[in-house]
Amino acid sequence: MNQPDETTAATLFHPAAFAGKVIGITGGANGLGLAGVRLLSGLGAHVFTVDNDREACRKVGAMLESAPAEGFAVEADLAVRGVVSDAIGKAVARWGRLDGWVNNAAINQPQPFGSESDELFDLMFAVNVRAAREGAVAAKPWLARTRGSMVNVSSIMALQPSGQSTPYSMTKGALEAMTRSLAIEYAADRVRVNAIRVGHIETGRGVRQLGPDAEAERRLWETYCQILAENAAPWPVAGAPEDFARAVAFLLSEAASYLTGSILALDGGYSVSLRPPHDERRVAAYLKMKEVKSQIENSRSHDAIT
């Protein structure tokens, strides 16, 4: 007979519940990943991340190195084989353990299916799926030692595609399939594997990419966000990066000790809404985003030329 679990609510939700634990997250220099890095580090974990954004990686690396629970950031291309396993090896060499692993990094460049280049198609699978596979393989033996946890970050587009992002939806569907399968395969070693199916969460990253004089693009971006928040899901406001970070922390924590193989829908009710994927309001929001993205890229290209 199992002994009673001495873990209590006071210890599960203590501000230092992750003290001394080691957690890695890919794509942690911006957006959702950065929110996860900040929260987990604030809860006492040694956090490390791998990201290809050089400047953002430098900033989050400096933040982690000076945090009470020190961490580090690796600036590297996740499409390159060995990058993820090398980062995990560096963390284990430094702290001697691994308690949590989060496959968060992903790329998406919406366009009609078949119009994307073979190189772009392969790149999306390399970052969104192959790097996650590498992380799952490299992290598993260390997570088995600590009875740790793995979280894969999926998207509502795995379940309800919006059109013109078919390769991205394919990669997220693969990630959810991997989550369910590994939950079975890794259970014998007491390693939990779950996923978060993310809906619309406003990171503000698009706004930060704009130049100081790009007020027209800024207003357009804000209009898009408002349209999507009001029409894409029953919940009347968009999610925040902190919502994502708390979901990650929950799935990594002992509070979720009997939860594995689950796909947690963090989407404001989008996945249970009766609105069809091609609802006119959703299409309008999607087209507005494409317009914003095009103007952002044009603005940045102009800045680079001048």
CA 254 to the chain's CA centroid: 20
Which positions are catalytic? 168
Q: Which of 4, 282, 1, 304 is nearest to 164 (CA)?
A: 282
d(CA 96, CA 41): 17
- Beta-carbon count within 10 A of 11 CB: 11
Within 10 A of 210 (CB to CB), how many other CB atoms are there?
19
The answer to whether 231 and 164 have CB atoms below 8 angstroms apart is: no
Pull the structure tokens for residue 189. Answer: 């070693």
Contact yes or no for 231/200 (Cβ under 8 A): no
- On whether the CB atoms of residues 91 and 22 are closer than 8 A, the answer is yes
192-198 and 263-266 beta bridge pairing: parallel
